[in-house]
Amino acid sequence: MVRPASAMRGHILDSALRLFATGGFNGTSLHAIAADAGCSKASLIYHFSTKEAILTELLTPAGEGLAALDGRLSALPDDRRVEAAVTGYVDLALRYRREVKILFEDTPTMICNPALGGITELAERLVVAMSGGSGDPRGIVGAHMVLGAVFVTCASEVDVPDDVLRDELVQGALRTLGRRTG
């Protein structure tokens, strides 16, 4: 049975995401992706010329999500930005958990991927939002700690239901930032 091109493309992306998250980007071959997706390597290359092209397509939604969060935060007053930054970042990290795991494996190389264009600047603006816009070293350090802790936690195999994990990440981040939690 011949699958429609869009379905095959989706199978390739699903396989690649799963294999990159478990075996790493560098540890996964195009052949392994094709075999897992149930297609030939030639068919895979028809859809994606390189492994990097697959990675770019996988990371694009996460990069777009971070840019959208940045846009939403810039429209908020400072008193609402901290919690919105924390919950927005936690939600993104959980939604793109496998992508985060791929990024975590080789951060310096991965953040240069074009799908994540401007990630350094977006992360710095997220730090400003999480620190309440102040130049207070405690807030800045706390915001960097939140960025790192959420990133590492979402890249890990934490055996906790996602709704519980989200709540704990948000509450822990807010405590780290010196905010009262409900």
- The model's pLDDT over 90-129, given as tens digits with 9 standing for 90+, comes to 999 999 999 988 887 777 667 677 777 777 788 888 999 9
Provide the pLDDT for residue 4. 65
Provide the pLDDT for residue 118. 76
- The model's pLDDT over 145-180, given as tens digits with 9 standing for 90+, comes to 999 899 889 888 889 999 999 999 999 999 999 887
146 within domain boundaries = yes
Residues 32, 79 within the same domain: no
181 within domain boundaries = no
Residues 44, 111 within the same domain: no
85 versus 2: the higher-pLDDT residue is 85
How many domains does the chain divide into?
Answer: 2
Residues 139, 167 within the same domain: yes
Residues 45, 64 within the same domain: no
Report the C-alpha gap between 44 and 131 in whole angstroms: 45
Token code pair at residue 67: 């840019």
Token code pair at residue 177: 């930032």
Average pLDDT over residues 32-47: 95
101 within domain boundaries = yes
Residue 158, phi then psi, degrees to nearest 5: -90, 120
- Identify the domain containing residue 28 by its residue range: 5-49
Residues 37, 117 within the same domain: no
Cα angle value 146/151/155 (rounded, 5°): 150
